[in-house]
Amino acid sequence: MPDQVTPDQLTDEKIMAVLAQVKDPEIGRDLVSLGMVKTIEITGSVVDLTVELTTPACPLKAKIESDIVDGLSSLGATTVRVDWASNVKRSFGGPAADLIPGVKNTIAVASGKGGVGKTTIAVNLAVSLARDGARVGLLDADITGPNVPLMMGTSGSHVTGAGGRVNPVVAHGVKMMSIQYFLTGDAPVIWRGPLIHSAIQQFLRDVEWGELDYLVVDLPPGTGDAALSISQLIPLTGAVVVTTPQEVSLLDARKAVAMFNKVNVRTIGVVENMSGFICPHCGTEHDLFGTGGAASLAREFDLEVLARIPLEPGVRTGGDAGTPITSPQHPAAEASVAAAALREMARTVAGRISVIAAPFAAAASARPN
Ligand SMILES: Nc1ncnc2c1ncn2[C@@H]1O[C@H](COP(=O)(O)OP(=O)(O)OP(=O)(O)O)[C@@H](O)[C@H]1O
Ligand SMILES: [Mg+2]
């Protein structure tokens, strides 16, 4: 820690020296070498800083802020104000990403078994990241059972566009595409693999996604065509595998993790959904399906349990009404334990992606222009 000095001796150099000791805990490097300190303004003993994070959904913002304040206080600053900016880095490059030139990161939400809450997790992940200020897309890759439009309140929407380009449908701050937006009525889509593949390819290539920090992809259950198509068509930053605590769900989740391993897609971690039920009347937690199953799966594959989301009536009503529980418009959003867990989950995922992207960002900035 530097020696205590009087405030009038505060200089940019001294402040930078202190900030060079403050680490981004997730990436494990200091703020100065990561280029995160953008501006410093000194007014007497008051210091105003702009710090650029690698994601607006930074899970460790509070820790970074308190480390900055502690460091600069010991230098004599009486007030430290941090203005946060963000610049999400790309986690892949090369020709494989040509189909989605404006997209910086892609997250596939998958499970082995149906009905465990993939779409619920994908929708709330997307809404939470957008609420934290990220630019987010949500691709419904469940061609034969598209549920994203219902859960995002856009069932009646249809696509617009011109010249072979298609505009995404926007709700809750998220840009979306789904086969549902092309259909009229409830006619089922009964398509084989090659058609599913070309639909997903068009959703990636022909949709005006623009600049996106995160593209979340909601996959159908299992290890079938859509998951393979996505992993062949675009680079995936990683997969989030959803499971419920029961053994049957875990058994199938193992297959999903194994499939991603086989196609060289990293699994970012496991989400245990419907993990305990909190009684809305007495507040007691009941183990309807058990808890902790994801932990054993995570141990087996050396993965992280990213979140445990309780079973909560508001999550289902939010899905049915098209107002996700993490949206401020959901009537139970404020008090919901599940909403808090889902928002925390989104920040954890964003944090892990920043770590994955860090070496790519360093390599990109080292390349000559
Ligand atoms: N934590 C939860 N609490 C309460 N209800 C939930 C929770 N998670 C999901 N649900 C409800 O469970 C049902 C199934 O969820 P969802 O559709 O997200 O699963 P899925 O894995 O995407 O299903 P499919 O395999 O058919 O695509 C939905 O009605 C949803 O609202
Ligand atoms: Mg689904």
Residues 146 and 41 in one domain: no
Mutation test residue for ligand 1: of 216, 278, 316, the one with most atoms within 8 Å of CB: 316
Please give the share of the chain, as a percent, with pLDDT higher than 90: 69
The answer, yes or no, to whether any atom of ligand 1 lies below 6 A from the CB of 357, is no
Residues 172 and 248 in one domain: yes
Q: What backbone torsions phi and psi does residue 234 show, to the nearest 5 degrees?
A: -135, 155
Q: What is the pLDDT of residues 278-321, one digit of tens each?
A: 777 777 777 776 667 788 888 888 899 999 999 999 999 999 99
DSSP output for 95-162:
GGGTTSTTB--EEEEE-SSTTSSHHHHHHHHHHHHHHTT--EEEEE--SSS--HHHHTT-TT----EE
In this structure, the dihedral spanned by the alpha carbons of residues 70, 347, 54 and 211, taken in order and rounded to 10 degrees, is -150
CA–centroid distance, 298 to ligand 1, in Å, is 21
The answer, yes or no, to whether any atom of ligand 1 lies below 6 A from the CB of 312, is yes
Higher pLDDT, 253 or 188: 253
Q: What is the pLDDT of residues 107-143, one digit of tens each?
A: 999 998 899 999 999 999 999 999 999 999 999 999 9
CA–centroid distance, 324 to ligand 1, in Å, is 12
Range scoring the smallest mean pLDDT among 55-64, 152-161, 191-200: 191-200
Closest to 111 in 3D by CA, of 273, 354, 312: 273
Domain membership of residue 332 as a residue range: 95-366
Q: Is residue 2 part of a domain?
A: no
**Domain end (from 86, 110, 132):** 86
**Domain end (from 59, 86, 113):** 86
Q: Is residue 224 part of a domain?
A: yes
Atom of ligand 1 nearest to the CA of 113: 25
Mean pLDDT value across residues 250-266: 90
Residue type at 134 in one-letter notation: A
Residues 57 and 137 in one domain: no
- Residue 7 pLDDT: 47
CATH number at residue 250: 3.40.50.300
Higher pLDDT, 88 or 245: 88
> What's the predicted TM-score (pTM) here?
0.93
Atom of ligand 1 nearest to the CA of 123: 18
Q: What backbone torsions phi and psi does residue 176 show, to the nearest 5 degrees?
A: -130, 155
- At residue 218, does pLDDT exceed 70? yes
The answer, yes or no, to whether any atom of ligand 1 lies below 6 A from the CB of 336, is no
CA–centroid distance, 86 to ligand 2, in Å, is 31
Q: Is residue 277 part of a domain?
A: yes
Q: Is residue 29 part of a domain?
A: yes
**Domain end (from 86, 112, 135):** 86
CA–centroid distance, 346 to ligand 1, in Å, is 17
Atom of ligand 1 nearest to the CA of 114: 25
Across the chain, mean pLDDT equals: 90
Q: Is residue 131 part of a domain?
A: yes
